[in-house]
Amino acid sequence: MLTNYTSESVIDASGLAQSIIDMIQSKAFDENTVSEPVWVPDSLTTAIKLGPESGEYQHTDFDDIDDYDNYSATVSLDRMGDFDINVNVFYVSTLNPNIKSSIPTYSKRIELSIINYSLLDTLKYHHIISY
C-alpha cells in the first residue's frame, strides 16, 4: 500500500513542481528587465541581491524570476496531505548550467525541493531559464 501512496505522491509533487515552474517562467527574467531590456549581464541584479525586492512579501507581488529565491510554501491536497515546497534561484554558467555563478549571467537555475509524508525522500526538480 505504501507503494501506491508513494507513486501518487510523486505524481502530485511533479504536477506541483511544473505548476510552480510555469508560474516563475511567466515573470520577467530580472528586476532590471521588467520594463526594458538589458544589453550586458553586469546590468542584471547582483548574485548576492537575488530574492524579493522591498515591498514584495508574497508570491503574488513577485515580478521577476529571482524573487522566488528562498520562497517556501505548503500546498495541501485532499488525498495526499501537505506538500512542503522550497525554491532556490541562482545564476549559473551559461556554458555549463550545473555550475553556480557568483556574477550575473544570462542564465538562472530554479531548484525546487518537495517533501511529503509518503515520499521516501525529498524530490528535487530544476529548470534553467535563459535571457
> What are the pLDDT digits (tens) for 24-58?
999 999 999 999 999 999 999 999 999 999 999 89
Contact 110, 87 (CB under 8 A): yes
Share of the chain above pLDDT 90, in %: 89
Number of domains in the chain: 1
CA 68 – CA 64 distance, rounded (Å):
8
Q: Domain range holding 51?
A: 2-130
**Residue 124: DSSP 8-state:** E
Averaged pLDDT for residues 62-79: 96
CA 69 – CA 21 distance, rounded (Å):
13
Q: What is the pTM assigned to this prediction?
A: 0.91
